[in-house]
């Protein structure tokens, strides 16, 4: 009989987490099969190239890490194929483009009553009574900033009231929006001090030279394939075949059955719940998805930005970005690419029938002064992106614990991986770092001839410790 230890390790999902892990295992001589639902690799960090010569990422994708190990890994994969770019992000507030993070010169241009009220909030503290996003933000930044920016932006983005959202959405989101650690965004005092210091931080990050951010995943995939690993794209996993609490094989919707010694799952927990035939009592976790409207226009946008946040509830989109400002080769000479992100659930009209919304998106582009005339639009493409954000509602820690417990009790050889698999509002570098660590542990145990339970090859719980139920 075949020893199951000799069967391939199956990784569900060819995002940066699955590919990083796949490469480390393949380098160590472990047979690997990666199954990917989409046509291309890269997951949320993939790129779309169109016949008109324009390339778009999924919104803005900058790479930055404080970890030497992650940086070394990324440089090794990209070789010479990267350049450093300066951060140029903005906020559209009161009809103006303002740099983000803000500087003193821009803050003074805001309406005086708003500044006075926000200034008073420095001395009016309200202690958080619950774990809600609303209480967290008001405690740290005061009511005025909450009402002016955080609340309308977040409620538009998630279509959920802030009092029903968990503070983890704020903790992770704000930390990720400010990668420069010289900018203290932890409180209103911190923000005020950073603004008074006045100099906009000169944050730099790296980006591929030869294409969009998807180049990184393509390079990983090439290496895995060269080492004998298999990557099947357009192969959504439809079933996990198991015996006595172990997954023995993974079946795709295309009818392929891949035997498995161990399975790393980086797809959504909701899909796992469905294909794993979880009983009704297993809680459901929800993800937001995103519809991208990728426009190619004949006139360039001014002022330039890499990405811009739109807090105003009356404006349809939450964020737009200009691929040219990441890499000028992404857009044909003299043209502009504009990516507008509309986050929604998959039963929303925007997801089901985006063509009905394009007029609203184009009006948004006019109001935001990114377009002067609709005649300047040359072309546009719509992309549906599944599971872009975990939805951190107030009771999510309890549900997530229930979901993890069910998955771990159901199979001994399944490990949850990456952004969706860990329900983790993270960045690429976090997924890469976690996969490098998981690979270390898995390979060390494999070399020792004894693998542990699947849960032992997962990144640690970041927020569940100490979170209220």
Contact flag: residue 214 with ligand FAD (CB under 6 A)? no
Contact flag: residue 428 with ligand FAD (CB under 6 A)? yes
Contact flag: residue 413 with ligand FAD (CB under 6 A)? no
Residue 277's Cβ-count burial label (10 Å; 0-12, 13-18, 19+) is exposed
Q: Do the strands 9-12 and 262-265 form a parallel or antiparallel pair, or are they unpaired?
A: parallel
Residue 19 near residue 225 (C-beta atoms within 8 A): no
Choose, by CB under 6 A, the member of 22, 25, 33, 37 that binds ligand FAD: 37
Sign of CA dihedral 397, 403, 408, 414: negative
Q: In sequence order, what E strands does 184-322 have?
A: 204-208, 230-232, 237-243, 246-252, 257-259, 262-265, 287-297, 307-310, 319-321
CB of 449 to ligand FAD, least distance (A): 29
In the Cβ-directed half-sphere of 170, how many Cα atoms lie within 13 Å? 27
CB of 419 to ligand FAD, least distance (A): 4
Contact flag: residue 418 with ligand FAD (CB under 6 A)? yes
For the window 81-110, what string marks contact with ligand FAD as x by the rule CB under 6 A? ------------------------------
For the window 341-380, what string marks contact with ligand FAD as x by the rule CB under 6 A? x---------------------------------------
Residue 408 near residue 416 (C-beta atoms within 8 A): no
Contact flag: residue 206 with ligand FAD (CB under 6 A)? no
Both structure tokens of 323 = 């691929």
CB of 15 to ligand FAD, least distance (A): 2
Residue 342 near residue 185 (C-beta atoms within 8 A): no
Q: How many residues bind to ligand FAD according to rule CB under 6 A?
A: 36
3-class secondary structure per residue, 273-307: HHHCCCCCCCCCCCEEEEEEEEEEECCCCCCCCCE
Distance CA 132, CA 147 (A): 15
For the window 53-72, what string marks contact with ligand FAD as x by the rule CB under 6 A? -----xxxxxx---------
Choose, by CB under 6 A, the member of 14, 21, 30, 144 that binds ligand FAD: 14
CB of 118 to ligand FAD, least distance (A): 28
Contact flag: residue 172 with ligand FAD (CB under 6 A)? no
Contact flag: residue 260 with ligand FAD (CB under 6 A)? no
Both structure tokens of 312 = 């105003």
For the window 270-309, what string marks contact with ligand FAD as x by the rule CB under 6 A? -x--------------------------------------
The binding site for ligand FAD (CB under 6 A) comprises 12-18, 35-38, 43-45, 58-63, 236-237, 266-268, 271, 341, 388, 418-420, 426-429, 431
């Amino acid at each position: 009989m075949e020893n199951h230890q000799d069967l391939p390790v199956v990784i569900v999902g060819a995002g940066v987490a699955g590919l990083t892990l796949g490469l480390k295992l393949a380098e160590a001589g472990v047979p690997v099969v990666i199954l990917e639902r989409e046509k291309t690799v890269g997951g949320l960090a993939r790129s779309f190239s169109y016949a008109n010569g324009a390339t778009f990422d999924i919104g803005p994708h900058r790479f930055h890490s404080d970890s030497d190990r992650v940086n070394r890994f990324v440089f090794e994969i990209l070789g010479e194929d990267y350049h450093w770019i300066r951060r140029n992000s903005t906020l559209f507030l009161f009809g103006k483009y303002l740099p983000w993070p803000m500087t003193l010169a821009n803050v003074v241009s805001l309406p005086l009553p708003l500044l006075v009220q926000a200034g008073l909030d420095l001395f009016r503290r309200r202690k958080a009574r619950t774990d809600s996003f609303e209480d967290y933000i008001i405690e740290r930044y005061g009511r005025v900033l909450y009402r002016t920016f955080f609340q309308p932006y977040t409620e538009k983005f998630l279509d959920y009231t802030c009092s029903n959202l968990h503070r983890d959405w704020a903790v992770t989101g704000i930390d990720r929006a400010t990668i420069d650690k010289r900018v203290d965004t932890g409180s209103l005092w911190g923000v005020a001090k950073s603004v008074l210091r006045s100099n906009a931080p000169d944050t730099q990050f790296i980006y591929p030279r030869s294409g969009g951010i998807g180049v990184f995943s393509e390079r990983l995939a090439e290496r895995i394939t060269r080492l004998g690993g298999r990557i099947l794209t357009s192969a959504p996993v439809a079933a996990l075949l198991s015996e006595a609490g172990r997954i023995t094989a993974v079946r795709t919707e295309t009818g392929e059955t891949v035997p498995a010694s161990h399975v790393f799952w980086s797809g959504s927990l909701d899909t796992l719940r469905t294909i794993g035939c979880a009983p009704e009592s297993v809680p459901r976790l929800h993800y937001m998805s995103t519809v991208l409207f990728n426009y190619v226009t004949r006139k360039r946008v001014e002022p330039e930005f890499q990405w811009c946040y739109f807090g105003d509830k009356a404006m349809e989109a939450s964020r737009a970005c200009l691929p040219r400002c990441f890499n000028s080769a992404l857009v044909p000479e003299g043209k502009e690419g504009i990516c507008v992100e509309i986050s929604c659930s998959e039963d929303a009209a925007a997801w089901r029938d985006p063509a009905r919304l394009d007029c609203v998106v184009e009006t948004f582009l006019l109001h935001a002064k990114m377009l002067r005339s609709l005649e300047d639009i040359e072309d546009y493409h719509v992309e549906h992106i599944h599971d872009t954000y975990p939805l951190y509602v107030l009771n999510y820690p309890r549900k997530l614990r229930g979901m993890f417990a069910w998955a771990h009790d159901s199979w001994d050889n399944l490990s949850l991986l990456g952004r969706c698999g860990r329900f983790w509002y993270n960045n690429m570098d976090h997924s890469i770092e976690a996969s490098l660590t998981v690979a270390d542990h898995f390979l060390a145990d494999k070399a020792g001839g004894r693998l542990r339970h699947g849960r032992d090859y997962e990144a640690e719980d970041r927020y569940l410790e100490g979170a209220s139920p």
